[in-house]
């Protein structure tokens, strides 16, 4: 894996963690950590990301052709992303912009 590829996966993980943190804090009032449900979702999502068949060339999840999440977890992560996505620009602007750029690159391919 090249440095660019590993940084893409690292950024993907950071974005995922930030989105779950934003969601849990706002929806469940968690401070300093995640509630058990959000922690389970985070653990599951990181495991799935680590096993992604596309590796560092993966598209953003919204544009992926392979749905690797169980239906219940897919609904949960979709809720997290819908809630946190618009808030990312204020909380983690660089990650949000890089995620949008990754999504545009995924569409072009």
Among residues 62, 45, 68, which one has the least CA distance to residue 104? 62
Report pTM. 0.86
Among residues 44, 100, 98, which one has the least CA distance to residue 75? 44
Q: Where are the domains of the chain?
A: 3-108
What is the full per-residue pLDDT of the chain (109 aa) written as tens digits? 444 557 888 988 999 999 999 999 999 998 889 999 999 999 999 999 999 888 878 777 777 788 889 999 999 999 999 999 999 999 999 999 998 888 787 666 5
């Amino acid at each position: 894996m090249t440095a660019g590829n590993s940084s893409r996966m690292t950024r993907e993980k950071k974005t995922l963690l930030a989105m779950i943190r934003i969601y849990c804090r706002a929806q469940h009032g968690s401070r300093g950590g995640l509630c058990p449900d959000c922690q389970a979702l985070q653990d599951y999502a990181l495991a799935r990301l680590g096993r992604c068949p596309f590796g560092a060339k993966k598209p953003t999840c919204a544009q992926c052709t392979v749905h690797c999440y169980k239906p219940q977890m897919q609904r949960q992560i979709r809720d997290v992303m819908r809630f946190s996505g618009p808030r990312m620009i204020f909380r983690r602007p660089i990650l949000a912009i890089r995620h949008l750029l990754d999504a545009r690159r995924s569409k072009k391919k």
